Structure 1
Amino acid sequence: MSKPEIEAKIEYQEIIGEANKGGYQPIRFTRVKYKASNKTHIDIRRFQRAYDDEGEDVFHPTKIGFRFPEKEFARVIKEYTLMPNTYVHPLIIKKSFKLLSSGEFESAVLQAFKCIETKIRKKINADPEEIGVKLIRQAFNPDIGTLTDYNLPKSEREAFAHYIAGAFGFYKNPCSHRDVEINFISAFERIVVASDLLKLIDKSERKEN
């Protein structure tokens, strides 16, 4: 079917979202209403950038994509956009998700791991000068840590101390000291690590030495 024949069947269409905007092959989310149907559809399709006779950008739809009723699209999106709220720590949702959705990925990661630092400091009543990896090592020292779970074998206590301090140092510290180029997926993966650690900190009980 030719392009004019397809367009003749469409009552209206509007672009509602775009990924890789400005790239050579953006993915466009388009709401489409056909004359022969009372339902709207969502078309998710890759476009190919080209140039017109005047050298201006034009984008042509490719065969790579799919289309389904908007009602079904809304059901799927609702299910999967609610999912992060069920497993990401609520404090991190509050501190990081707005930054994440606005494209401030580095700041979103920084705030997520800052939650770990502030929560530990509060739980062990540490001085404000106690910061970063040093604070974490103090709280989860496998032998004398205030928040260490002594029900675990020593090897696991040591492993957790290395894990939480290592994750903090590897993910948070670079964002504090230099510009870090990360995308949405990388930022979200790091935020999930911070969330997992924060949940474990919440469960930890203070021990008096």
Structure 2
Amino acid sequence: MTKKKPAKKVTEPKPKVEPKIEFQEQIAEANSGSYQPIRFSKVKYKNNSDLFIDIRTYQRAYDDEGEDIYFPTKKGFQFSEREFKKIVGKYTVLPTTYIHPDIIKKSFALLKTGQFESAVLQAFKALETKLRKKIGATSEEIGVPLIRKAFHPDKGPLTDIELPKSEREAFSNYMAGAFGFYKNPCSHRDVDMDFIQAFERIVVASDLLKVIDKAIKK
């Protein structure tokens, strides 16, 4: 009598356990208004200290009341927020269209390499150099006294005398204050700042430099 072979045990595949999402926040969207927008979301999973960036195509549909709703599709991918920041930091183009070209030349390379204090210093040095050249000042005339001379409310060679006196005084104070508050500390001591703080100061210097360019010497 032939012995029957024992039946092989069939191992059921273990169900795939999806990681549980602790929170998900949409941070940007491309192709907005289309049937398949691409959404950028920040995702945090439970039992994982890392944050992830999810870039995914969504499909537009309609609910029972005819309102738009969007469902995530399988077309997408995730990677850590840390890696995402590296990519953005490497390939993001600084906004050059509204920054004065003298400042782009002097400061942007420093910004890109994280030398924020030096970037601010060079931006305001560009302003000071242009101002000295514009009014024919000597090399000994520097800083706030130079600005006060150029934009004196009543007799400054670059002052727009057609403006009300209160506005002439306000602009003179604004330029001198910006120079003294933003540039001087970088000249005399170490100043700790991040990219945003440095860029905000550089935008101020750019705005003032454009005013100098437009000013007509009397």
TM-score range, shorter chain: 0.5 to 0.7
> Which entry has the higher C-alpha Rg, 1 or 2?
2
Query: 1:151 Cα deviation (Å)?
Result: 1.2
Query: 1:102 Cα deviation (Å)?
Result: 0.2
Q: C-alpha separation between the residues in 2 aligned to 1:157 and 1:173? A: 23
> Could you tell me which amino acid in structure 2 is paired with residue 130 of structure 1?
E
Q: In the alignment, which residue of structure 2 is the partner of 1:104?
A: 115
RMSD: 3.1
Query: 1:66 Cα deviation (Å)?
Result: 2.4
Indicate which of 189, 193, 199 corresponds to 2:200: 189
Q: Conserved in 2, the CA contact under 8 Å of 1:45 and 1:61?
A: no
Q: C-alpha separation between the residues in 2 aligned to 1:95 and 1:183? A: 18
Q: In the alignment, which residue of structure 1 is the partner of 2:55?
A: 67
Q: Conserved in 1, the CA contact under 8 Å of 2:43 and 2:54?
A: no
Aligned residue runs from structure 1 range 75-90, under 5 A: 81=92, 84-90=95-101
Q: In the alignment, which residue of structure 2 is the partner of 1:173?
A: 184
Unaligned 5+ runs, structure 1: 5-40, 51-58
What is the CA deviation profile of residues 81-128 of structure 1, one whole-angstrom value per residue up to 9, with x for unaligned ones? 557211111110110000001000000000000111000000000000
Q: C-alpha separation between the residues in 2 aligned to 1:44 and 1:168? A: 40
> Could you tell me which amino acid in structure 2 is paired with residue 84 of structure 1?
P
Query: 1:186 Cα deviation (Å)?
Result: 0.1
Do residues 159 (structure 1) and 147 (structure 2) align? Answer: no
Q: C-alpha separation between the residues in 2 aligned to 1:146 and 1:133? A: 15
Do residues 202 (structure 1) and 213 (structure 2) align? Answer: yes
Q: C-alpha separation between the residues in 2 aligned to 1:134 and 1:47? A: 54
Q: Compute the TM-score of the two structures, normalised by the length of structure 1.
A: 0.65
What is the CA deviation profile of residues 10-29 of structure 1, one whole-angstrom value per residue up to 9, with x for unaligned ones? xxxxxxxxxxxxxxxxxxxx
Q: C-alpha separation between the residues in 1 aligned to 2:182 and 2:136? A: 24
Structure 2 CA distance for partners of 1:206 and 1:45, relative to 1, 3 Å: same
Q: Conserved in 2, the CA contact under 8 Å of 1:46 and 1:61?
A: no
Aligned residue runs from structure 1 range 46-57, under 5 A: none
Do residues 122 (structure 1) and 97 (structure 2) align? Answer: no
What is the CA deviation profile of residues 118-161 of structure 1, one whole-angstrom value per residue up to 9, with x for unaligned ones? 00000000000000000000000001101101111110000000
Structure 2 CA distance for partners of 1:104 and 1:82, relative to 1, 3 Å: closer
What is the CA deviation profile of residues 169-188 of structure 1, one whole-angstrom value per residue up to 9, with x for unaligned ones? 00000000000000000000
Q: Conserved in 2, the CA contact under 8 Å of 1:106 and 1:180?
A: yes
Identity %: 63
> Could you tell me which amino acid in structure 2 is paired with residue 172 of structure 1?
K
Structure 2 CA distance for partners of 1:91 and 1:2, relative to 1, 3 Å: farther
Q: C-alpha separation between the residues in 2 aligned to 1:88 and 1:169? A: 21
> Could you tell me which amino acid in structure 1 is paired with residue 95 of structure 2?
P
Q: C-alpha separation between the residues in 1 aligned to 2:41 and 2:149? A: 51
Q: In the alignment, which residue of structure 1 is the partner of 2:105?
A: 94
Unaligned 5+ runs, structure 2: 1-15, 20-37, 57-75, 78-83
Q: Compute the TM-score of the two structures, normalised by the length of structure 2.
A: 0.62
Structure 2 CA distance for partners of 1:60 and 1:139, relative to 1, 3 Å: same
Query: 1:61 Cα deviation (Å)?
Result: 3.7
